[in-house]
Amino acid sequence: MRSFLESRPIPTAVIFTVVGVLPLYLTSAQAVRLQNELDFDRTQFGLMISCFYLTSSVASLWLGPRIDRRGPTGAFRAAALLSLTSAVLIAASASRWEVFALFLGVAGLANAFGQLGSNLAVADAVHGTRQGIAFAAKQAAVPTGAMLAGLAVPWAGADLSWRWVYVGAAVVALLITVVAPHYDHEPSGGGRRAPTTMSAPLVSLMVAAALAGGAGNAVASFVVDAAVTTGFAENTAARLLTVASLVAIISRLSWGAIIDRRSSSGTLEATAILSLATAGLALLVVAGDARVPFLIGTLLTFAGAWGWPGVMQFLTIRTIDMPAATSTGATLAAGYLGTVIIPPLFGATIERTSYTTAFAGLAVVVLVALAAVHVSRRLAAEKPTTA
């Protein structure tokens, strides 16, 4: 298995991205059950999710240049070991939401290592004409983690403690640790420190990543609770997360293939994806308690707000003159920072008003992200400036 992964960077990137996000989406899929048993509200749940992304944000910005120098091998092993640690800690001792949040922070560190190691492996080992689909497949690993989490909840059933789901995740992480591959890597600049000056186009892409990433992850984190509020049974709501995640996977792969076929920079594709997300959120706003519009709106939102990260990574690699882990570390850090801020605000808005108002706010956020993508494109066409 190790030899297989060493010769195939795309499956490797998928596996080590999934292992980093699995504890988070097991938590999201069990949101209602955890709130009932551990007695926390939606705002506190949003803070738990934010702890994962805050750790990922800080770690991504700091780790990027270091992984560029040292290569993806150590990052892969660290991702699997930290995910294992997070799952074991949650299963063994999470009894309050504050403690749960701390253990999700450990998973956030695993996510940073897995994402950046995977980005570097893809940039190093995959030919440029296939990088669109490569980054799409790698980013499709994130909704794959959510899909697996959605499947795990009905499997566990009402009679089995939620803690056993994390035990299963720990076993998976242990197996992945054992087969972690080794990749030869030539450091950028002969091992010298990677350049970290942020250009104006990169800053604009970071703004887009922060807004769109925060909006997409807010929907993914609260969709089970929203579905239950609309009238779906808890297990049915978890299955909706599974189906919506599958739609996001298909969306990411499809847009990656389109980029490669068109030899595109990715700007047009990002525009289409974020427009789709806006349409889905608008449908969720008008759906009310109607189940069919809610279902369609959820699927459109996942296809858009969760369909674009692969395009984002491709845009960053192609348009920003920095080593792969450093540049994508900046946009990932921004995306995670947006997720630190937006889900708690989303949860607080729901508590104080309704899901209708919260979804409307997210639609505005996605439109601003779309504008930032086009600002970045215009800035990249001009003489580079520093920020």
What CATH number should be reported for the domain holding residue 172?
A: 1.20.1250.20
Residues 6+ apart with CB under 8 A from 164: 91, 156
pLDDT, tens digit (0-9, with 9 covering 90-100), for 106-146: 999 999 999 999 888 888 777 666 778 888 888 777 777 76
Does any domain span residue 34? Answer: yes
Query: Is the model's pLDDT at 361 over the cut of 70?
Result: yes
Does any domain span residue 91? Answer: yes
Does any domain span residue 386? Answer: no
CA-to-CA distance for 383 and 38, rounded, in angstroms? 54
Instruction: Compute the CA torsion angle 356, 360, 363, 364 (nearest 10 deg).
Output: -160
Q: Using 50, 70 and 90 to split pLDDT, how confident is the model at 385?
A: very low
pLDDT, tens digit (0-9, with 9 covering 90-100), for 264-274: 777 888 889 99
Query: Is the model's pLDDT at 382 over the cut of 90?
Result: no
Residue 192: per-residue pLDDT = 47
Comparing 370 with 155, the larger pLDDT belongs to 370
- Total number of domains constituting the chain: 1
Give me the DSSP letters along 113-177: HHHHHHHHHHHHHS-GGGHHHHHHHHHHHHHHHHHHHHHHHHHHTTTS-THHHHHHHHHHHHHHH
Does any domain span residue 387? Answer: no
Residue 37: per-residue pLDDT = 82
Q: Tokens for 228?
A: 């239950």
CA-to-CA distance for 247 and 244, rounded, in angstroms? 5
- pTM score of the predicted model: 0.77
Residue 186: per-residue pLDDT = 67
Residue 367: per-residue pLDDT = 95
Query: Is the model's pLDDT at 194 over the cut of 60?
Result: no
How many other β-carbons are positioned within 10 Å of the β-carbon of residue 235? 14
Share of the chain above pLDDT 90, in %: 29
Residue 252: per-residue pLDDT = 86
pLDDT, tens digit (0-9, with 9 covering 90-100), for 286-309: 988 888 999 999 999 999 988 888
- What domain range includes position 188? 2-381
Does any domain span residue 247? Answer: yes
Does any domain span residue 202? Answer: yes
Query: Is the model's pLDDT at 171 over the cut of 70?
Result: yes
Q: Tokens for 49?
A: 């999710």
Average pLDDT over residues 262-284: 88
Q: Using 50, 70 and 90 to split pLDDT, how confident is the model at 387?
A: very low
Residue 191: per-residue pLDDT = 47
Query: Is the model's pLDDT at 193 over the cut of 60?
Result: no
